[in-house]
């Protein structure tokens, strides 16, 4: 029997989300011995797009659970000799790995691969579509901060249109009954069908007001964000958190990284404000991804 894929927040029930969260918290507390829970499993990791956090934490998570990790270096693979990516993955699949972790710049790519592979496919971020493991590690961080995951007041600020993180959070928000709003330049807001029922804030002050969490999104200079902005300075002025921005004591700031310093948030806030959760998010990435492996493979 094929084990479970981890492709989209669409495929997870509220109970699945709670189960993965509980497992991640248990792994973090180190109260169970998990060091052999993926013993003899072989996980192939293919990143067609750059990554620091996701790739490293998926690898660390697998190794903590006793799995072998094979990283395919796209630049050194036979794809550089003209082999199609489909042929490459078909050949890797023939070696009978236990899972693939895939990041790709095309939306829907992991879903496509799941149709041709007979092992679990874990989506490590696909184009501007979804980043479900980021949503899970963010949820873990929220739970640790507010001791609850339902009925949260959350605002996502930035390039909602191109953000896979925002898409996964929007889907999760519905399942957990969040009061979710968004704020960003009009050129960076998605189609109406994506944002039905989601409030659009009118100002940064409103966006921050009465929120449990603000999720800042990265301006993706390597993607389309730049073409939707008149200037980065203007973005920073109207949509960035700056030294003079008042952040209420009950409001916490998150960012999936990598941060564009002094664009989405000023360096002094990022480095010194007590309510910044960015590093905690990265730490929790390992445990959330361990729980995702457990969900897919055990």
158, 204 in Cβ contact below 8 A? no
* Shortest distance (Å) from residue 135 CB to ligand CP: 11
- Cβ nearer to ligand CP, comparing 45 with 134: 134
- Decide: residue 12, CB within 10 A, 0-12 exposed, 13-18 middle, 19+ buried: buried
- Cβ nearer to ligand CP, comparing 66 with 257: 257
144, 280 in Cβ contact below 8 A? yes
- List phi, psi (to 5°) of 246: -85, 120
* Shortest distance (Å) from residue 54 CB to ligand CP: 3
Site string for ligand CP, 189-228 (x = CB under 6 A): ----------------------------------------
| Helix H or strand E encompassing 200 | strand 199-200
Span of 37-45, 88-96, 252-260, 261-269 interacting with ligand CP by CB under 6 A: 252-260
Nearest residue to the partner ligand CP, using Cβ: 54
- Cβ nearer to ligand CP, comparing 248 with 258: 258
* Shortest distance (Å) from residue 271 CB to ligand CP: 19
Site string for ligand CP, 55-94 (x = CB under 6 A): x---------------------------------------
Selected binder of ligand CP within 22, 35, 36, 52 (CB under 6 A)? 52
* Shortest distance (Å) from residue 282 CB to ligand CP: 8
Q: Does 256 bind ligand CP (CB under 6 A)?
A: yes
What is the DSSP secondary structure assignment for residue 118, as one 8-state letter?
A: S
Nearest alpha carbon to residue 253 among 287, 212, 199, 294? 212
* Shortest distance (Å) from residue 51 CB to ligand CP: 3
Site string for ligand CP, 118-137 (x = CB under 6 A): -------x--------x---
Selected binder of ligand CP within 171, 194, 257, 262 (CB under 6 A)? 257
* Shortest distance (Å) from residue 49 CB to ligand CP: 8
Which residues fall within 8 angstroms of residue 244, CB to CB, at 6 or more apart? none
Q: What is the number of other CB atoms lying within 10 angstroms of the CB of residue 4?
A: 17
158, 217 in Cβ contact below 8 A? yes
Residues listed for the chain: 298
The SS3 assignment for 215 reads strand
- Cβ nearer to ligand CP, comparing 60 with 200: 60
Give the integer Cα–Cα distance in Å for 14 and 5. Answer: 16
Q: Which residue has the tokens 């001791």?
A: 147
Give the integer Cα–Cα distance in Å for 150 and 179. Answer: 9
Which residue(s) pair with 70 in the sheet?
44
* Shortest distance (Å) from residue 52 CB to ligand CP: 4
**Chain residues in the site for ligand CP (CB under 6 A):** 51-55, 125, 134, 256-258
């Amino acid at each position: 029997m094929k084990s479970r894929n981890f492709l989209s927040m669409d495929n997870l029930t509220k109970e699945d989300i709670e189960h993965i969260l509980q497992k991640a918290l248990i792994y973090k507390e180190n109260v169970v011995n998990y060091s052999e829970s993926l013993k003899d499993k072989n996980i192939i990791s293919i990143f067609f797009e750059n990554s620091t956090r996701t790739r490293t934490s998926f690898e660390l998570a697998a190794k903590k659970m006793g799995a072998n990790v094979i990283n395919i270096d796209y630049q050194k693979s036979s794809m550089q000799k003209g082999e199609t990516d489909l042929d490459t993955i078909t050949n890797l699949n023939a070696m009978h790995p236990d899972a693939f972790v895939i990041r790709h710049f095309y939306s829907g790519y992991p879903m496509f691969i799941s149709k041709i592979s007979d092992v679990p496919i874990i989506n490590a971020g696909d184009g501007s579509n979804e980043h479900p493991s980021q949503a899970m590690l963010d949820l873990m961080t929220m739970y640790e901060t507010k001791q609850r995951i339902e009925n949260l007041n959350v605002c996502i600020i930035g390039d909602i249109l191109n953000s896979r993180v925002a898409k996964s959070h929007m889907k999760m928000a519905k399942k957990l009954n969040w009061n979710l709003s968004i704020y960003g330049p009009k050129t960076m807001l998605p189609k109406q069908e994506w944002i039905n029922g989601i409030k659009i804030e009118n100002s940064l002050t409103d966006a921050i007001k009465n929120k449990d969490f603000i999720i800042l999104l990265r301006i993706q200079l390597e993607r389309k964000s730049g073409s939707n902005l008149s200037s980065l300075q203007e973005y920073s002025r109207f949509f960035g958190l700056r030294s003079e921005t008042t952040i209420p004591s009950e409001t916490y700031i998150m960012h999936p990284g990598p941060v564009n310093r002094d664009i989405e948030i000023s360096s002094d806030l990022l480095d010194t404000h007590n309510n910044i959760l960015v590093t905690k998010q990265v730490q929790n990435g390992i445990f959330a991804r361990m729980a995702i492996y457990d969900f897919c493979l055990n």
